[in-house]
Amino acid sequence: MRSIMELAWFEDFLEIAATRNFSTAAASRNISQPAFSRRIKALEEWVGAELIDRSTYPVHLTSAGNIFVPRCQEMLRDMYRLRTDCRNAAGASSRLLTFAALHTLAIYFFPKWISQPELPNAPVRSSMHTGDFLECVDHLSSGKCDFAITYDHPDGPPVLEGGPFESLQIGRDRLVLVSGVDQKGAPLFNVDVPEGTRIPYLAYSWSDGYLGKLISLIQSRWRRPLNLSIVYQSSLAEGLKQMAIAGQGVVWLPQICVQKAIAQGELVQIGGQQMSLEIEIRIFRRVGARSRDGEALWKYLSRTAEQASGRNLTDPTLAMR
């Protein structure tokens, strides 16, 4: 029997208790399914009882597992609360708030959002890690940041659903299909072309699978399959935008990233509303108290949720609804 227990095992257990599916839980925890299964087994060895009944699909909690769930939740809350108390006692309450965000949101959304004078303790002392979707999830899951800011959509892949995480919507954006323009300002490429016509396509690389899946959702609504021929791939929306401006192909990009280029006549939206999709901007954190500044920010965002209901959140200075 193992004599050393890891806090991450408890968070893994709450994830599988919420999802009842090992592959889904492993994806949410951003680890491989075999590694996730080993960690659950290690927890069971430490406890000395089976917590998961693996003989059914979806899996179920054993009697011991049902007893363990509320105690596990309570223990995690107490541990994070204890850490907060210790940090506050050591003067860590005014430390930097750490964020992880998609490159696009870090560039075009975060600066205005974090500069709101209404935010508690403004100006907020913060640091930012930028990355693709999986990197942001990993940073939050592994405790490397206080908050993660990503895109989300109800019909898209689940983002940190279940487990020790909570989220708030803090804005809206829209994925739009754009093309570069010719000397007369007309689009170089379009989707309303004869069936089978090759359309050069600027795609997100495999590492940013989340936006790619949302784009597949958009394409499924078009009246016929598009003959998109990938000519360039990147995980950086900004890089894809510059390739589109250079006339290399069409690309789906967040509106917040291209609105200036469209206004300046460098890009044009094509395909209309059918080729676009409204997406949420959400901020995630682990459940449990953190630093005083972090708690103050979260309470402010929660408190303004009802006040912002029904307002236009495309403006990144508006709080969540």
**What are 33-43's pLDDT values in tens digits?**
999 999 999 99
Run of H or E residues at 213: helix 209-219
For residue 87, name the pLDDT band (cuts at 50, 70, 90).
low
In this prediction, residues 85-111 reach a mean pLDDT of 80
- For the entire predicted model, the pTM comes to 0.67
State the average pLDDT for the chain. 84
Q: Over 60: is that where the pLDDT of 315 sits?
A: no
Q: Residue with structure tokens 């009802």?
A: 306
Contact indicator for 148, 136 with CB cutoff of 8 Å = yes
Q: Over 50: is that where the pLDDT of 319 sits?
A: no
Question: What type of residue sits at position 289?
Answer: A
Residues in contact with 67: Cβ distance below 8 Å, sequence separation at least 6, in sequence order: none
- What does the alpha-carbon distance between residue 319 and residue 93 come to, in Å, rounded to a whole number? 24
